[in-house]
Structure 1
Amino acid sequence: MRFQKERSAGFLANQMARLFAKGLQKRISPLGLAPAQFMTLLALWDEDGLTQSELVRRLDVEQATMANTLTRMERDGLIERRSNPSDGRSQSVHLTEKSKALQAPAIAEARAQNATALADFSDEEREIFLVLMRRAIAAMHGN
C-alpha cells in the first residue's frame, strides 16, 4: 500500500506548522524578533521572572536551545537575567521595557497569521478545528 501524504495527520500537521512558522517569521522579523524569541516572550508576558528551567519545561525545548535563545535575547536588549531570590544557584529572566513595548504589535502579527491560516473557515469550522487540534495534542501528551 502506498503512503498518502494528504491522508497523514502527521505530514499535514508538520506542513501546516512549517508554513505557519514561515508566515509568522515574516510578520515579526520587522519587529526584530525570531519565532523562538516570540515563543519565549509569550511565556514571559504571561509570567515575568521565570527561570531558564521553567522556560524549558513550558516551551518543551532543549536546555541548550533555550540557553542560546536567551543569550541572543539578552544581547538584543529583550531580557535581563537576575539572581533568583528563592534559589541563589539560578537566575530569573525578566522582560525589559523594549520587550514589553513589543507585546501588542507582536501579538497582533500572530493574530494576523492565525486569521490568514483560517480565513477560509466559517466560525463554526474554526472552533471545531481548534477543538480537534487540542484533542490530538492532548492524546500525544499522554504517550
Structure 2
Amino acid sequence: MAAVRDFHADKMASHFISRIGRGMTRLGDARLRPLGFATAQLPVLIALKDGAKWSQRELARWAKVEQPTMAQLLSRMERDGLIRREPDPADGRSSLISLTGEAHARLPAARDILVQGNRDMMRGLSAMEEATLLTLLERVMANVEGLEA
C-alpha cells in the first residue's frame, strides 16, 4: 500500500511532457486556425513544403500514424483545398499527394506562428538552458523511439 501512496505521477517527466504537448497543440490550433491549418496537419505540410509528392503510405510512415488516421486527415485537407491528389505513375492503385498553391501561400505565416509559439514556450530560459533542454528532449525521444522499435 505504501508504494501506491508514494507514487506521484505529477512529479514524473512523462506527466510534464504530455501536458506540454497537449497545451502546445491547443495553442497551436488556436493560432493556426485563421490560416486554415491545424497542428495535426503539420507533418503533411512539412513533408510536402518544398513541392514534394508523397503517397499516403509514405506520409503515414513519416508522421508515425496509422493509415486510416492519415486517410482521414488527407480527406479533410483535400476538402479544405490544402492538398491535391494525382495518380501515381509507378502504381496505378495509388495517388501522389502535394500541396496546393493556396497551402504554399499560407506556409510562411504558419511558420512565423510556430516560431513565435516556440519563443513563447521558452520564455524565461537562457540560451544555455534552452540548448540543454533540447539535448535532453532529443535523448528522451530517442529512448522512446527505441522502445517502439
TM-score normalised per structure 1:
0.94
Q: Paired residue for 1:55?
A: 59
Structure 2 residue runs without a partner (length 5+): none
Instruction: Please list every run of at least 4 consecutive aligned residues from structure 1 whose deviation after the TM superposition is greater than 3 angstroms.
Output: none
3-state SS, counterpart of residue 124 of structure 2: coil
RMSD: 1.3
Q: Paired residue for 2:107?
A: 103
3-state SS, counterpart of residue 120 of structure 1: coil
Q: Paired residue for 1:66?
A: 70
Amino acid at match of 1:140: V
Shift of 1:46: 4.8
Structure with larger Rg: 2
Q: Deviations over 1:80-114 (max 9, x none)?
A: 00111222221110111001101101111111111
| Contact preservation (8 Å) 2:31, 2:113 | yes
Q: Percent identity?
A: 36
Q: Give yes or no for the alignment of 1:93 onto 2:100.
A: no
Amino acid at match of 2:136: L
| Superposed counterparts of 1:1-143, under 5 Å | 1=3, 2-46=6-50, 48-143=52-147
TM-score normalised per structure 2:
0.90
Structure 1 residue runs without a partner (length 5+): none
Shift of 1:5: 3.1
